[in-house]
């Protein structure tokens, strides 16, 4: 009988241990790295301050990148209430993926050879172009070369301003701010002369109610920016996300998301790019 009692007690201990393991014993913020939907949550990096693309508002998270990420998460087996949104600033994106802070990032993340050495990309899912936002009454900037000797703003970790200085306006005075919102404030109060980044981002800012009529896109289309979804190097999520993106285009959800988020800004967007086709 003693042996039987010990066995029963041991079984109880084992059962409790298995139960604790199944529950995870964490704060509910775990995710399934395989993207199969088996985890409680999936952590996704987005921008918090880019109107039309990724923005944190009192009503929740909105924008084209948010819609794309939500669709992809659904295809991976996660409902919207299982998504944990994380702010992915430009300078932090590779580190966030390498550390496992997020499962994937959809944050106006242009695919470049330098970034591909550090992380993998699914997509692209949007083709944007680098442009410049200036004050509506500024008639001095008519071409990229006019940015010489002008104060040109972009954010830390972005390649936009450096592209202009390296290739188009070597005498431009680069001003690096922490966010695009900070650049916009500088443009408004004339601390800077121009804000450069992707036309999709600039259009979102210019279309905001409080800024209507104050700024304008120069329309330079200086580069091609292939937006991809970043994942950790070697992650099997890449193929799964590519499949989800193809389905999003095929069932017209991509088109609906574009029209919903960019329509108010009259943004002349490109057709959905083919998966794996990077335009240089």
pLDDT over threshold 90, residue 169: yes
Q: How confident is the model at residue 15 (pLDDT cuts 50, 70, 90)?
A: very low
pLDDT at 188: 94
Q: Strands 173-177, 151-155: parallel, antiparallel or unpaired by DSSP? A: parallel
**3-state SS, residue 54:** strand
Distance CA 102, CA 187 (A): 33
pLDDT at 88: 98
Distance CA 192, CA 161 (A): 13
Q: In CATH, what number does 129-217 get? A: 3.40.190.10
Contact 167, 102 (CB under 8 A): no
**3-state SS, residue 175:** strand
Mean of pLDDT values over 255-270: 84
pLDDT at 11: 43
pLDDT over threshold 90, residue 9: no
Q: How confident is the model at residue 265 (pLDDT cuts 50, 70, 90)?
A: low
pLDDT over threshold 90, residue 103: yes
Helix (H) or strand (E) holding 16: helix 2-23
Contact 73, 83 (CB under 8 A): yes
pLDDT tens digits, 69-87: 999 999 999 999 999 999 9
Distance CA 253, CA 236 (A): 24
Give me 25's structure tokens: 């014993």
Q: Residue 259: count other Cβ atoms within 10 Å of its Cβ.
A: 11
Is pLDDT larger for residue 73 or for residue 179? 73
pLDDT at 72: 98
Distance CA 65, CA 126 (A): 10
Q: Residue 256: count other Cβ atoms within 10 Å of its Cβ.
A: 12
Angle at 126 between CA 169 and CA 216, to 5 degrees: 45
pLDDT at 62: 96
pLDDT over threshold 80, residue 39: no
pLDDT at 206: 80
Mean of pLDDT values over 259-279: 87
Helix (H) or strand (E) holding 258: helix 253-262
Mean of pLDDT values over 103-131: 96
State the residue for tokens 């994106």.
93
Mean of pLDDT over the chain: 86
Strand blocks (E) in 9-150? 42-46, 49-50, 54-57, 60-62, 83-87, 104-105, 119-135
Please give the CATH topology (third level) of the domain spanning 42-127+226-265. D-Maltodextrin-Binding Protein; domain 2 (3.40.190)
Q: How confident is the model at residue 268 (pLDDT cuts 50, 70, 90)?
A: confident
pLDDT at 163: 82
Mean of pLDDT values over 13-24: 39
State the residue for tokens 């992915």.
88
pLDDT over threshold 80, residue 6: no
- Burial of 19: CB neighbours in 10 Å, binned 0-12, 13-18, 19+: exposed
Contact 96, 88 (CB under 8 A): yes
pLDDT tens digits, 230-256: 999 999 999 999 999 999 999 999 999
CATH 3.40.190.10 domain residues, the chain: 42-127+226-265, 129-217
Helix (H) or strand (E) holding 71: helix 64-75
pLDDT at 38: 54
Q: How confident is the model at residue 2 (pLDDT cuts 50, 70, 90)?
A: very low
Distance CA 151, CA 193 (A): 5
* Close Cβ partners of 73 (under 8 Å, ≥ 6 residues apart): 42, 44, 80, 82, 83
According to DSSP, the residues that pair with 126 across neighbouring strands are 227
pLDDT tens digits, 181-232: 899 899 999 999 999 989 998 988 887 878 878 998 898 989 899 999 999 9
Phi, psi of 7 (to 5 degrees): -60, -45
């Amino acid at each position: 009988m003693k042996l039987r009692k010990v066995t029963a007690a041991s079984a109880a201990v084992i059962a409790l241990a298995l139960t604790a393991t199944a529950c995870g014993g964490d704060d509910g913020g775990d995710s399934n790295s395989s993207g199969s939907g088996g985890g409680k949550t999936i952590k996704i990096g987005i921008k918090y301050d880019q109107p039309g693309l990724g923005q944190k508002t009192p009503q929740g998270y909105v924008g084209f990148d948010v819609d794309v990420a939500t669709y992809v998460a659904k295809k991976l087996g996660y409902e919207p209430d299982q998504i944990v949104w994380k702010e992915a600033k430009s300078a932090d994106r590779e580190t966030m993926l390498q550390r496992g802070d997020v499962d994937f990032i959809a944050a106006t993340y242009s695919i470049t050879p330098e970034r591909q050495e550090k992380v993998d990309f699914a997509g692209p899912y949007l083709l944007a172009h680098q442009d410049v936002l200036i004050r509506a009454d500024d008639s001095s900037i008519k071409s990229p070369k006019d940015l010489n000797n002008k104060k040109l703003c972009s954010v830390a970790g972005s390649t936009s301003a450096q592209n202009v200085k390296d290739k188009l306006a070597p005498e431009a005075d680069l001003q690096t701010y922490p966010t695009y919102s900070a650049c916009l404030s500088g443009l408004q109060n004339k601390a800077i002369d121009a804000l450069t980044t992707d036309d999709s981002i600039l259009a979102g800012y210019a279309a905001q109610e409080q800024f209507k009529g104050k700024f304008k896109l120069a329309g330079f289309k200086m580069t091609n920016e292939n937006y991809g979804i970043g994942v950790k190097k070697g992650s099997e999520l890449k193929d799964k996300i590519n499949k989800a993106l193809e389905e999003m285009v095929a069932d017209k959800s991509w088109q609906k998301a574009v029209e919903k988020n960019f329509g108010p800004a009259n943004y002349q967007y490109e057709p959905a790019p083919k998966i794996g086709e990077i335009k240089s």
